[in-house]
Structure formats: C-alpha cells, structure tokens
Amino acid sequence: DAGVTQSPTHLIKTRGQQVTLRCSPKSGHDTVSWYQQALGQGPQFIFQYYEEEERQRGNFPDRFSGHQFPNYSSELNVNALLLGDSALYLCASSRRTSGRVVGNEQFFGPGTRLTVL
C-alpha cells in the first residue's frame, strides 16, 4: 500500500514563473491538505480539499490555488512566484468520517522542495 506520494521532489523556478505540484493521497483517503514549510519553521496550512472543493484556507494569497480530482489526487498551483515562496511543500491526506475529519490522522508525503531564484 503506497503512502502519500508527491512530485516532483525538487524544483527550481525563477521569480514570476508559475509552478504546479502534485500529490496522490494514501489509499482509502479522500481529503488532501497542503502545507508550506520554510526552513527552520513548522508547516503552515495553505488549504484543504475534499469532494473536489476547497473546504478550508489558511492565510495565503490568491496566487496559491489548488484542485482535487475525482481520484482524490490534488495539485497545488502557485502563480507569480516570489523569492519568499521557496520552501518545502507538504501534502497530507486523511479520511473524513461523518462529514468531518475527526481524530483521523493526517499522513504526510515526502514533500516537494521548491527553490525560487
């Protein structure tokens, strides 16, 4: 049983470019959350997708957008990249119970290291 997978593992972009990161959830999971982790910091919540819709969002600008597909996989898109967007982007999957994620553990992928030059 594959866990959460993310691609690519590393990515280098320049300012102003756009990037798409991909995540496949753990088998049996239907909810995907995205996090940004700057060096030496804890992960910061970007948004969460369930039933192909964005359900919750953290304090990130509209440059950050996402999508969830019918197979529960997800993409994170970042437009007009800034130097400050350089970080480890983590995807976590979980399974909803009775309409909300109750105590269900979030399993994290290995992350995508994005460097913006």
For other proteins, the binding residues (CB under 8 A) are 4, 31, 33, 35, 40-45, 48, 50, 55-56, 88, 90, 92, 94, 99-111, 113
CA torsion angle for 94, 2, 28, 70 (degrees, to 10)? Answer: 90
- Given the complex with other proteins, which of 43 and 66 has the nearer CB atom? 43
Residue 108 CB, shortest distance to other proteins, in Å, is 4
CB–CB of 30/23 below 8 Å? no
- Given the complex with other proteins, which of 18 and 41 has the nearer CB atom? 41
- Given the complex with other proteins, which of 18 and 97 has the nearer CB atom? 97
DSSP 16: T
Report how far residue 64's alpha carbon sits from residue 32's, in angstroms, rounded to the nearest whole number.
15
Residue 69 CB, shortest distance to other proteins, in Å, is 19
DSSP 113: E
- Given the complex with other proteins, which of 2 and 102 has the nearer CB atom? 102
Residue 52 CB, shortest distance to other proteins, in Å, is 15
Using DSSP, state whether 70 is helix, strand or coil. coil
- β-strands 10-13, 112-116: how paired? parallel
Residue 30 CB, shortest distance to other proteins, in Å, is 12
